[in-house]
Structure 1
Amino acid sequence: NSPKGLEATREKVWQVVRSYFRPEFLNRLDDIVLFRRLGFGELHEIIDLIVAEVNGRLRSQDILLEVTDEAKNFVLENAFDAEMGARPLRRWVEKYITTEVSRMILAQQLPPNSTVRVLVNGSQGKLAFSVKRSFVSE
């Protein structure tokens, strides 16, 4: 992550690019952008953003979604792919959290002013959902 290390990496990438592509194509390139892998804290923040987006959709029904740190770690363990980056996180949250909350709404298990807390059921090794009826909308 040091400037010298980044420059050395950039030069290695350029060497590979030069050996692979023709000069006509290389003349059209302005720059090569290098990305570093996302860290654990950044991935947690991405999950927070996804949950905030879901909460935005639930707000009209006066329902709040809370995801514990343990559940976020569970999501990361099951959804994160180093090659794909954070992209699978959104799909995983939609498939396993948002879908379950939607089912709960349709089954009328989530009345207005409810909070759904997502945690990990340690004995079963899967997500668990608890409902508390005390959320007050602002």
Structure 2
Amino acid sequence: MPFLAEQHQSRNNDKQSPRRDFDPDSLAARLGSRVLGQDTAVAAVVRALSLSAVGANDPDRPLANLLLVGPTGVGKTELVRRVAAELRAGPDDLCRIDMNALAQEHYAASFSGAPPGYAGSKEAYSLFDRTTVEGDAYRPGIVLFDEVEKAHSTVLRALLQVLDSGTLRLASGQQTLSFRNTLVFMTSNLGSAQLARRGRVWWRRGRAGARLAARGDRTVLQAAIRDFFDPEFLNRIDETAVFTELDHTTAHAVTELEIDLLARRLSRRKIELEVTGAVADLVFARGFDPVYGTRALRRAIRTTLAEPVAIAVLRARGTSSDPVTVHADVRDGEVRTHVDT
């Protein structure tokens, strides 16, 4: 496919620079450096992009229809954002549809726009942004249907048309959206409740328990998918990527990555953050929960580390832009800071 001739590679601060080639191994490494512990899911995405790169996909369907399933907070949405950062202008350069907002039938009409005779029908309004859906000759469109199982059945029927033919005729009958140059991602939390009930049991069993849990996770999730979706829907999905709960080692690596991302954000405000390994250990111990994944961890970083850093900076320089360096360590079970100006 021509769009991969000018693939975009992520740089610091999510700035982009064009690439003249498509290297699956390099792409997998970059995606895996931001979505930790999900090598199987990353491989599924890279496989879809590789097939598109050589034109092996069906030209009358989307470039790929991928269903991402697994517990909350393990990187499903983040993986799609990283793909957008690689192939488009940045991690938010995609069309995200919150399917939870389409759970009731009277809201479902917004999926394909207002029918003839209703307000907005002539303007062909819909939830989709044509630019990020259709892409162009040098980059694909990317659409994320988030929590697809929450949508009303009428929306899922309309989605079948997208997955099967790569087109969506708006309800006005006057315009059609093309998804044939589009990577279609769908996320689902099906089976997560069952995984959550047993998640902490496996977590307490340590690394060996996590390995056994990962195999069990796939069985639980695949069964939940088969029970919920009709066969005609599942037959239109090219591949289901299963995300698993994070083990101890990966969870600690995620902690260090999130702290590093915080340091990068602060550096843009001329604030250099230096932390010891004890800080990461404390955040991990306080914040990571196998049920809630990285979302709980981010909350712990906010209260355990980011807050004392912010207070130290404000005391040292106020709201000025003078450069400062903040050193963070752990004493008496709390993060302590001191500032060099």
1:87 pairs with 2:298? no
Matches of 2:276 and 2:302, distance apart in 1? 16
- SS of 1:65's partner is strand
Select the residue among 12, 33, 37 that pairs with 2:245. Answer: 37
2:338 maps to what in 1? Answer: 131
Whether 1:47 and 2:47 are equivalent positions in the alignment is no
Q: Could you say what the CA RMSD is over the residues aligned between the two structures, in angstroms?
A: 3.4
Show CA shifts across 1:33-64 (max 9, x none). Answer: 22232233322322222222232233356543
Q: How does 1:44-83 map to 2 (within 5 A)?
A: 44-59=252-267, 63-83=271-291
Indicate the residue corresponding to 1:118 in structure 2: 329
Bigger relative contact order, structure 1 or 2, given CA contacts below 8 A and separation 6+? Answer: 1
TM-score after normalising by structure 1: 0.65
Give the 3 Å change call, closer, same or farther, for CA 26–98 of structure 1 in structure 2.
same
Once the two structures are superposed, residues 79-133 of structure 1 have per-residue CA deviations (whole angstroms, 9 ceiling, x without a partner) of: 1121221122223212331122111111127985534223142xxx4x2313263
Conserved? CA contact 1:51–1:65, under 8 Å: no
TM-score, scaled relative to structure 2: 0.31
Per the alignment, in what secondary structure is the counterpart of residue 131 of structure 1? strand
Change in 2 beyond 3 A, CA 1:118/1:27: same
What is the distance in 1 between the residues matched to 2:223 and 2:310? 51
Say if 2:326 and 2:339, in contact at 8 Å, map to a contact too.
yes
1:19 positional shift: 3.6
Task: Name the SS of the counterpart of 2:293 in structure 1.
Answer: coil
Identity %: 26
Identify unmatched segments of 5+ residues in structure 2: 1-210
Query: Between Structure 1 and Structure 2, how many residues are aligned?
Result: 127
Asked if the contact 1:37–1:85 (Cα under 8 Å) also holds between the matched residues in 2, the reply is: yes
